[in-house]
């Protein structure tokens, strides 16, 4: 593990860290924001999963999360979205590099490196909880677009691990979308029965929802047909599950930054309960 950069921000430290990943078979990079409270002991952590074409840097720089995290005393982890390098390259923006979809690929050529589910759920948590002042008993997760899909499916699969889950314009029903069917076929093969484990709508139908959930969706998002928020809205039930339509907002980080304060406050209520 090596710290590539370190910057003071809002009284805390914004790190960029590189490390050798066993599961992805190469070097991976992530961002980590440690709030000032981490100087005194372990702090809760909010995982932020980014979307298509992003690296660890997009949300770290554009989401405006550090100010609110410092105020709340919450650390932020910004993982990358896929392995990098020649083995990860693909001509399409929505497959391969920058498009890991938070699954463990079983199909060639992706299986050798694209093990993003294991990386996010096992390898990276083991590293950050060992090396930094983070509290594994207090975790929450959020994400944007493809990362919202990852956040929802991870929280629904490991509800005992996370205290809350949120998402900005998530891919909600990927088994019924071209942002899902194409990638699942490439990464997981043609057996669609294997895809439902990575579909938030199908997981909620099968297992229910036991965590507090907040989703924000821009009403002017040009990708609504791919995101399928109406399918998620129809599957949700109960006072702890909220999907808010934000009129006039699109799919950009201007949208994410506009509601980041709300999401940090939402998770803080669960993490400090």
Q: For a pLDDT cut of 90, what percent of the chain falls above it?
A: 96
Neighbouring-strand partners of residue 5? 16
Q: Which segment of 44-48, 62-66, 87-91, 191-195 scores lowest on mean pLDDT? A: 87-91
Q: How far is the C-alpha of 23 from the C-alpha of 123, rounded, in Å?
A: 7
Structure tokens at 141: 């997760």
Could you tell me the end-to-end alpha-carbon distance of the chain, in angstroms, rounded to an integer? Answer: 33
pLDDT at 184: 98
Query: Which listed residue (144, 251, 263, 267) is catalytic?
Result: 251
Sheet holding 75-79, edge to edge: 2-9, 12-21, 26-34, 75-79, 43-49, 134-143, 162-168, 213-218, 241-246
Query: Which listed residue (21, 82, 121, 145) is catalytic?
Result: 145
Q: Is the pLDDT of residue 92 over 90?
A: no
Q: Is the pLDDT of residue 87 over 90?
A: no
Verify whether residue 251 is a known catalytic residue.
yes
Summarize the confidence of residues 71-89 as an average pLDDT: 90
Work out the pLDDT band at 85, boundaries 50, 70, 90. Answer: confident
Domains of the chain and any CATH numbers: 2-271 (3.40.50.1820)
Q: How far is the C-alpha of 171 from the C-alpha of 152, rounded, in Å?
A: 9
pLDDT tens sequence across 99-128? 999 999 999 999 999 999 999 999 999 999
Which residue, chain included where needed, has tokens 């390259």? 89
Phi/psi of residue 272, nearest 5 degrees: -105, 10
pLDDT tens sequence across 161-190? 999 999 999 999 999 999 999 999 999 999
- Give whole-number Cα distances, 264 to 122, 174, 207, in Å: 24, 26, 26
pLDDT tens sequence across 32-66? 999 999 999 999 999 999 999 999 999 999 999 99
pLDDT at 238: 83
Query: Which listed residue (80, 104, 199, 221) is catalytic?
Result: 221
Structure tokens at 224: 């609504």
The residues, ordered by sequence, that sit 6+ positions from 89 with a Cβ below 8 Å of its Cβ are 96, 97
* Average pLDDT of the chain to the nearest whole number: 97
**Report field, pTM of the whole predicted structure over 0.85:** yes
Summarize the confidence of residues 58-78 as an average pLDDT: 98
**Strand runs (DSSP E) across 127-252, as ranges?**
134-143, 162-168, 213-218, 241-246
pLDDT at 160: 97
Q: Is the pLDDT of residue 138 over 90?
A: yes
CA 205 to chain centre: 21
What is the SS3 assignment for 108? coil
Residue 104 DSSP label: B
């Amino acid at each position: 593990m090596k710290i590539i950069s370190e910057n003071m921000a809002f009284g805390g430290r914004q790190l960029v860290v590189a490390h050798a990943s066993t599961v992805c078979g190469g070097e991976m990079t992530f961002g980590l924001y440690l709030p000032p409270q981490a100087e005194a002991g372990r702090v809760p952590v909010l995982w932020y999963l980014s979307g298509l074409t992003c690296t660890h840097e997009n949300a770290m720089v554009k989401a405006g999360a550090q100010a609110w995290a410092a105020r709340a005393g919450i650390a932020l982890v910004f993982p990358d979205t896929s392995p990098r390098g020649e083995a990860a390259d693909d001509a399409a923006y929505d497959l391969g590099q920058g498009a890991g979809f938070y699954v463990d690929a079983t199909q060639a050529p992706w299986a050798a490196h694209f093990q993003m589910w294991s990386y996010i759920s096992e390898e990276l948590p083991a590293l950050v909880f060992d090396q930094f002042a983070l509290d594994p008993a207090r975790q929450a997760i959020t994400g944007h677009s493809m990362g919202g899909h990852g956040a929802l499916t991870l929280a629904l699969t490991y509800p005992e691990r996370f205290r809350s889950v949120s998402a900005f314009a998530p891919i909600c029903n990927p088994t019924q979308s071209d942002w899902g069917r194409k990638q699942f076929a490439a990464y997981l093969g043609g057996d669609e029965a294997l895809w439902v484990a990575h579909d938030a709508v199908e997981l909620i139908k099968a297992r229910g929802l036991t965590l507090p959930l907040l989703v924000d969706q821009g009403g002017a998002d040009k990708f609504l047909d791919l995101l399928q928020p109406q399918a998620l809205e129809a599957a949700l039930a109960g006072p702890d599950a909220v999907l808010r339509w934000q009129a006039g907002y699109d799919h950009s980080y201007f949208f994410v930054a506009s509601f980041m304060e709300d999401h940090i406050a939402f998770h803080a209520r669960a993490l400090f309960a």
